[in-house]
Amino acid sequence: MRRNEFEVMREEEIEAFLSEMSFGFLGTLGEDGHPRVTPINYVYHQGMFYMHGSRFGEKMDHLAANPAVSFSVAEEYAIIPSYFTDPLMACPATSYFKSVTASGRVEIVQDLEEKAAAFTLFMNKLQPEGGYAPIDAANPKYASRLRGVAVLRIVPDRITAKFKFGQNLTEDKREQVLQGLDARGRGKDRETMELIRSSACPHMQQTLAPDPYSEEE
């Protein structure tokens, strides 16, 4: 069953989530038809995903055979027990999360300056405090390393996003979930409560591109 109420239309919300996260899952398909999912760090910049790794291996063999890929990023915010809203039935048990999935093609970045720019983005995300020499393709110490590493650029054909925070609940059920999270008060429960309140507004209900196969998780 398709659940439009969980889909996201505002590009700035998707970009904000992708900027917060640093880890996703790259789906590839080999020449023999066998799929592979690779956990991998990434950065998202100007509508494209960048990632890096070895120039050799099964992942690179898959990409050489078929550059079409999918890439997913997700974060679970809170488990919602069934008894928050129903004292007997297990059916309401669920989790609240954000997820983004892209499909498109991978291009192997060859230009050293673009590689340097991509690694600068990685460092800005993973080591924002600095503490290293600027990554410059003209620096011989960096140039040899940049030549030796593979940098992948995903050019998406489609990006879809789902942020599930009780948009399908009645006001009474939503309040019961909020009370349950408030009483539990652990992990990201407080943040989840704020997201539930903001998601009650009807502004998050479309994708960047139509996805007829979107289903509730």
The tokens of 142 are what?
């960096």
Residue by residue, pLDDT tens for the chain (217 residues) are 445 666 776 788 999 999 999 999 999 998 888 899 999 999 999 999 999 999 999 999 999 999 999 999 999 999 999 999 999 999 999 999 999 999 999 999 999 999 999 999 999 999 999 999 999 999 999 999 999 999 999 999 999 999 999 999 999 999 999 999 999 999 999 999 999 999 886 544 333 443 333 334 4
Query: Helix crossing, 112-126 with 140-148: angle to 10°?
Result: 90
Interatomic CA distance for residues 10 and 65, integer angstroms = 35
Q: Is 138 exposed, middle or buried (0-12, 13-18, 19+ CB in 10 A)?
A: exposed
